[in-house]
Amino acid sequence: MRLRIKALGIGLASLTLSTAAAAADPTYRAELTRTAYGAPHVIADSYGGLGYGAGYAAAQDNFCDFAERTLTVSGERSRYLGAGEHDANIVSDLYHQRLIQTGRLEARLAGDAPGAFKPSADARALARGFIAGVNRYVRDTGAANLPDARCRGAAWVRTYTETDYWRSTIAGQQPTLMAGVATAAPPGVADVVAPRGPIERSRVPEGQDGSNAYALGREVTKSGHGVLLGNPHYPWDGINRFTRMHLIIPGKLNVVGAGLQNSPTLGIGHNQWMAWTHTVSTARRFGLFELTLDPKDPTAYVFEGRSVPMTKTTITLQVKTAGGLAPLTRTFYDTRFGPLVETPTSPWTAERAFAVRDAPVGLRAVDQYLTMYQARNVRQLAAALSRFQAAGFNTTAVDAGGEAFYGDIGPLPYVTDAKAEACSASDLARKSWKDLRIPVLDGSRAACDWDSDPKAATAGIYPASALPQIFRNDYASNSNDSYWLTNPKQPLAGFGRIFGEEATARSLRTRLSLKQIEDRVAGSDGLGAARFDLASVQAVLFRNRNLGAEMTRDPLVALCRSAAAGPQPDLAEACDALAAWDLRVNLDSRGAHIFRLFAEKGGLAFKVPFDPADPVNTPNTLDVNDPKVLAALVDSVKQLRALKIPMNATLGQVQTEPRAGGERIPIHGGPGPEGIFNVITPVNLVPELGWTKIRHGSSWIMAVEFTDRGPISQGVLTYSQSTNPDSPHAGDQTRLYSQKGWDDLNFTEAAVRKAAVSTMVLKGR
């Protein structure tokens, strides 16, 4: 039954804006339609109206997440929530309050910051409308009546401003080494917060998030048009959750897909002519500078032979305690390169210290996406990326004409290999560059600063023309290894180490990704006629192959049975389960959990080494003579027996995601390091039940095929649209994913209206 609700006024307000502010704001109008699974579609005649509808929808679905994120970037967590475990809230507040004190956001909005790209009128209108829509929802609902108990009646729920939106945008760009910046202090100065423990002073990005991307061009598709698969692997909880969205300005804009919460922009999606997705890049988007300190003053550093005092910024937080609010004061130190940072391996001593510099993005990202939404082919998409250089990820795309594209076109520090080597002034710097590809440059010499190019979007970064990118008529792909093997027929090579490794072994997931394309193009995968279309690219993903198992299961079973016949009789049941396993990670696959533990314990040791001339097929051959192979299997079986988990259990029995009322939704897929394309990384391995929570993995999954009649597209948001546990849309798409189902994205306005479950017309300020 279709429900139509018309809301003509602004509703009752429990939180109010000032009369003057309301009068100054423009009037917004948006039509918010929900289709199956609560998917929101916003139709408006302006960017402000789009933002208004998107903001209202975002608040309906995930207001508590929005409010908490705003609390975070406002630097007020400890004021309302206390210090947090291991002073986590204090560390966060110090970091964000420092950003606020710099005044850089205000300068960027005013257009006074070089390379910041002052937001366009459309971008500002979208942001203002979004915040107005959020505020409208809070006024209509009332803080005391919010449906999610996490923030219902909370003192930190308030009216929001456009500044809150932009602050959230820039705060999320590069929180590199956040704890290290927040806790850095000169020698002899006592720490004011817990410097180590679960929250370390510093953490190099671990790459736990990831993605798969297929841009399939006309030479490998059935229709000769483009086909795209977007499969980001992101956290299932927290600020980096995706949310579905569809934005339409009739005759001007139509883009559908998903973006991160707390924003009206779509990060992954498609328009009439082009579809794109992102994957996590191997490029380093930050670097360190090693400072030689003035022997007389550890808060001054030597630059070109002269002592330069650090800039000091003092911040006082009000921290909630049992006795009321208590002040906590902290002084930050900045240099020409960036703020001081401390890590466990790079302390601030009397002789040296370290500053961190991020590749700047500023406020360019929103306009970059608005420009991308208008691209009619991948060449125009690449031009938009090149103009703004605001992407924090790889971009893979395909257009209706069947041209595929890959590019890591973003703000990448202009640090050549030669400079990194010549300007590494210590063993620590040389090790960082060798092991982590993180440049630690000599901060005492101007010649060791990042280079610049007038063709780049801003100072200190490579120009777009120097970045890894490729156009192909067959395909482009990425599964989080470097750009090198985007397409094995045309390896990308000759780039600096700051971008990624070349001619090195690829992950099992990357190798499976490439094999799946080869098998589909050849029609040898059992999925019907050769080449790709919408149905076959979906089937490839949900076929749930495990390359590590395909390569090693048979010799592993032979080793297992040999050991079971001798000194390890307890292995017999596991041997039988592995032998009968279908080598998939489907819900009914039996034995997959044994192999998972085996791989996690280091059992995947190969005899044949990597060969750069055969990168898709090497390394290979399980080294059964390596003692750690059998040891990993024995340890896995012991662990499962101790947990009382049967060897022949199905994956659906031992890998689940919780929802309200004690529901345990069975989840297919598995960890990428095993060679699984459909990544699911579970946690909480408990007795009898197995893994009871998904930490991260397949999140927003989107498949698009361009046809003579226009694009057809389907998707599924694995963890569902709403974070409110009581919402009907908190688990419905999770169940859909469990069943390997897909939902139509209803790209056209007519399709949206036909599929509507509810429609709300929003008018207000």
Catalytic machinery residues = 211
Query: From its phi and psi, is residue 715 left (phi > 0), alpha (psi between -120 and 50) or beta?
Result: beta
**Short-list 507, 459, 243, 217, CA closest to 360:** 459
* Structural contact between residues 290 and 443, judged by C-beta atoms closer than 8 angstroms: yes
Task: Give Rg (Cα) of the chain.
Answer: 27
Helices (H), 650-692: 651-654
Phi, psi angle pair for 60, to nearest 5°? -60, -40
- Return phi, psi of residue 244, to 5°: -75, 150
- 66: its two tokens: 């929005």
DSSP structure class, residue 251: T
Q: Count other Cβ atoms within 10 Å, centred on residue 20.
A: 8
Other Cβ atoms closer than 10 A to 84: 18
Of 527, 699, 673, 668, the closest CA to residue 585 belongs to: 668
Contact 131, 138 (CB under 8 A): no
Closest CA to 53 of 164, 140, 133: 133
Q: Tell me the β-bridge partners of 476.
A: 215
Q: CA 80, CA 428: separation in Å to the nearest integer?
A: 40
- Rounded to the nearest 5°, which phi and psi values hold at 350? -70, -20
For the chain, the first-to-last Cα distance in angstroms comes to: 31
CB 272 within 8 A of CB 65: no
By C-alpha distance, which of 425, 384, 421 is closest to 405? 384
Torsion 737-740-741-744 (CA) sign: positive
Residues found in the chain: 765
DSSP for 576-635 reads HHHHH--SB-STT-BSHHHHHHHHHTT---EEEPP-TTSTTT-SEEE-TTSHHHHHHHHH
